[in-house]
Structure 1
């Protein structure tokens, strides 16, 4: 699954967007905000060094933004007394603060350098790509010119984001309705090679699985026991978490896929990838060949970055990422 040639990709994007004013380009801010790339790079570098979980947090934030209503930074908007926003939907309450903080820092710096010019949606898309690369993952082109959405409703999230407890058929369906193949879905799941999951997301798999066994038998027994110890106080401390990839938790690589056949998948959805005949072949391919995983992941992320985008008059440039103008 090869990356599209940049020139060909631009033609596809242009045809997709239609009008001239809505066209996305790689150098969208070249004249209006020439330090755009450098400011984001400086911001994410400082943040990732200070908090190594930033990369995983930002990738997850990006996915949770794009799948429900498109990549329009609507997940960044705060709720008001009149509206419950996406970020306060139950599935988004576990989104790590490092992701939000990264975008706020970049937006603040960009507003000082070039006011009312760069959208929060573009910042999130580029920060995600740069953090993937910084963590050792593949580079892929990000086309720019998105506008920020003017709507953020919690109700729009329901049924549009995968939950760890969902059966694999339902997870596949969520991605399919956004135009992603099973292979692309598995590749995107590889983002779990970095980042962490909260213990309360796996408590039923660890402590209350069945009468015959405390934990899900798909777990490696020693791994399950280790997770049980790490998560012992999850009821008292809801912030308790464990790395998604215990072998190389801060490095973007294919070890996540190598872990799954060994019973080292943290979430039920992780273990399900190796247990389902539709997804298992791709797990095995990506586990055996990191280059194939990187190509598939980069291509799928590039595609994800164009889902449901707002351009031209269909959106706005927010002054603050957490508030609609």
Structure 2
């Protein structure tokens, strides 16, 4: 959606026009399951009755309905607001929500209780909402923007968060098996998470963990070149995965857990532990992958 600072208070953009550009809108059932699972475990999403914004949900209500379902398991009073800058998408998602409430499971996603706190509205990076959200999820949105635009859009969204709030911004492939995201708070970017369907690693579609290079967040995707930290991380991750090949007989998950442990032992600031690693995740502190400063002049 633009350096990390404070934006205005609640409400829409100055001219009343949503900030941003219309995305392709591609979405699908379960595409964002990995990031949803990670958000659901975060303290920001467990604040009773918190507001969570699904920014740029795309051409259907699917991802917003799924987000609500996953978060409500631990936080029954959670509220999800889907925002799009295309009025036609807002109208369609609202109609799909009504259908999901009445008819149970539909092709748009899962059934939803009649009193579930889900809604859709027109909005972009300015995040117009009735109150400050605790979480903003902006997946597959900044991919179409230029790298120099990222920091400003981060700042705008961060300026809308409530105290202790969380911004999650990243990219996934179309079926959700390869994805990555940056987690940000009021101080800026805090971590990068890579999440893979690890039992497909080694296949033609996912030859090695570095397959995520094609789905890195916009702030990093063009930095996967020699001399940059993200390039070093992915190269080291591939090496660690290869070294742990003997564990393949015990399953891909065991091999991934060992790979994550090896990365931590090598000095990478890997957070979490086996419980998260078994889900195919690897989270590192942002300082380990932050882009190198541009040369002066």
TM-score, structure 2 normalization: 0.29
Q: Looking at both structures, which has the greater relative contact order when contacts are Cα pairs under 8 Å and sequence separation is at least 6?
A: 1
Structure having the larger proportion of residues in helix:
1
Give the number of the structure whose residues are more often strand, by fraction.
2
